[in-house]
Structure 1
Amino acid sequence: MKISDDIQKLLPFGYLFLVIMGILKECFFHYQLGINILKYSTIIDILISPIATFTSNPIILVFVISLFIFHYHLPSLLAKYNDRKFVIRTFELKKIEGFSEAETKSYFNSVSVKTLAAILCSFFLGYGLAGGYFTGKKIRDHKESYNYRINYNNGKSEEIFLINTNSLYYFYTVKGSKTIKITPLGAVENMELIENKMVTKGLFLYNTSL
């Protein structure tokens, strides 16, 4: 399918928007845990933050793909059903009488883009705020799941609740403590997923966050 000129022009700005949303999501999430995540992030972490968020869970990935597919076809749906009251109220459409074909197409494209941007903004901010709140509550109430054992290069091991990880650091709490530890990946030999008794090397967990 041919992508319209309006959409093609917005693609670079669209990715910039996603990066900004990814940064805000991570900041809101970690701020509630007392972490300034930008101090512990690289440029690569920041650039892939929206991709990491989208791929963090299969349900989220399916939702996001469906969202983009729907909004790709939304302009043609609006052109077809723009006289329906429900559609007019939902998308706050204005009358298009007197619009040329090109103006009508551009208008419906802009409505689709604005709607998609609003949904993504709500998703990222809601994800960050809710995720940080419930993670913090788990730690305060000692309701974490200590599913991992971290093995350090010095031979020491600890059972942990893994909060997050990026290209440089692990963020976690140790069993029996509310204190959040931030450990460089280089200080860790490997990590064991206790439930499945399988060893996962440090960078295996890298796709979970900023």
Structure 2
Amino acid sequence: MEESNNKLPQYQYNLQEYLSLGYVYLVFLGIIDEVIFYNFFGVDILNYSGISDILMAPINMLIIDIRIFIAVVVIMFLAYLFYFKLMPALHKRGKDQNWYQKIMKDMDKADAKFAAMQRQTLLFMMVYLSCLFLGIRIGYGYKMKERIVQGEFKMNHTLVFNDNSSREVRIIGQNSLYVFYVTKEQREVAIIPISGNIKEIRKTPK
């Protein structure tokens, strides 16, 4: 049997397939984000989530805090510029410099490394985004849990129930079916169905 050195042609994804894969990735990341965050409060969020909540997980993840969203976008942009624009440019410029050759030692290996980075830009950015976003959310969840345990949190909403009674609460999270909250008197997270119980959710003025 003759050996063939011809490489198999690589499949090229079109724009629609990239968007579909990107959405699946964001759904997965959004679900992991929710599971990790609510786990700090002893809540198995998947037991309280409908299919619409799962499909909306990417949007909820991105807009839950506009400051987090802006920070993630800025850091991702800077990371892209640094790893895929600045570093390759510096490598190309320094290849003929003696001091750079002494640092890199194996220039062929360095060339291959930078070439591989360029081919795997999307994968690198996806992994970087996952680590960055989940790291921020883990830090936020840990800090919020600590504040609740110590009672150092402010009420941010008023729940108005169907019998017109109301309660000042700190909402930890909310989806299409349930509200998760704590009060000064009750530090453990309470879970209440929205349908048939809550008439209105008012944001507390700052």
**Equivalent pair of 1:173/1:181 in contact (CA under 8 Å):** yes
Normalising by the residue count of structure 1, what TM-score does the alignment of the two structures yield?
Answer: 0.70
| 1:50 to 2:58 alignment | yes
Deviation of residue 36 (structure 1)?
0.2
Instruction: Give, in angstroms, the shift of residue 146 of structure 1.
Output: 0.9
| Alignment partner, residue 139 of structure 1 | 148
Larger Rg over CA atoms: 2
Task: Supply the distance in 2 between the matched residues of 1:137 and 1:194 (Cα, whole angstroms).
Answer: 22
How many matched pairs?
A: 178
Say which of 158, 161, 164 aligns to 1:149: 158
Deviations 1:42-95 (Å, cap 9, x if unpaired)? 12211221221212222333334445656777756666554256xx9xxxx842
Bigger relative contact order (CA 8 A; separation at least 6)? 1
Q: Which residue of 2 aligns with 1:163?
A: 172
Question: Aligned match of 1:188 in 183, 188, 198?
Answer: 198
Q: Partners of 1:127 and 1:69 in 2: how far apart?
A: 17
**Percentage of identical aligned residues:** 25
- 2:111 matched to which residue of 1? 95
What does the per-residue CA deviation read over 1:157-188, in whole Å, with 9 as the maximum and x for residues that have no partner? Answer: 11101101011110001232212111111211
* 2:187 partner amino acid: K
* Contact 2:72-2:132 within 8 A present in 1 as well: no
CA distance change for structure 1 residues 126 and 65 in 2, over 3 Å: closer, same or farther? closer
Deviating beyond 3 angstroms after TM superposition, the runs of 4 or more aligned structure 1 residues are 5-11, 63-82
Match of 1:175 in 2: 184
TM-score by length of 2: 0.71
Paired residues of 1:54 and 1:64 also in contact (CA < 8 A): no
CA distance change for structure 1 residues 132 and 165 in 2, over 3 Å: closer, same or farther?
same
Q: Is the 8 A contact 1:71 1:113 kept in 2?
A: no
Q: What is the distance in 1 between the residues matched to 2:158 and 2:122?
A: 44
Residue 21 (structure 1) aligned to one of 8, 29, 34: 29
Alpha-carbon distance between aligned partners in 2 of 1:156 and 1:23, rounded to the nearest angstrom = 34
Task: Quote the offset at 1:20 in angstroms.
Answer: 1.4
For 2:133, what is the secondary structure of its paired residue? helix
Letter paired with 1:29: F
Report the alpha carbon displacement of residue 190 of structure 1 after superposing the two structures with TM: 0.6
C-alpha distance in 2 between matches for 1:178 and 1:25: 23
Hey, what's the Cα distance between the residues in 2 that align with 1:179 and 1:78? 49
Q: Does 1:108 align with 2:118?
A: yes
- Structure 2: gaps of 5 or more residues: 1-11, 95-99
Structure 2 contact 178–192 (Cα < 8 Å) conserved: yes
- The answer to whether the 8 A contact 2:72-2:133 is kept is no
Residues 14 and 78 of structure 1, relative CA distance in 2, 3 Å threshold: farther
Matched residue, 1:101: none
Q: 1:7 to 1:132 in 2, by over 3 A?
A: farther
Q: Which residue of 1 aligns with 2:9?
A: none
Distance 1:107 1:174, change over 3 A: closer
**Unmatched segments (≥5 aa) in structure 1:** 98-103, 197-210
Query: Alignment RMSD, CA only?
Result: 3.0
Shift in Å at residue 29 of structure 1?
0.8
Compute the displacement of 1:145 (Å): 0.7
TM-superposed CA distance for 1:23, in Å, is 1.1
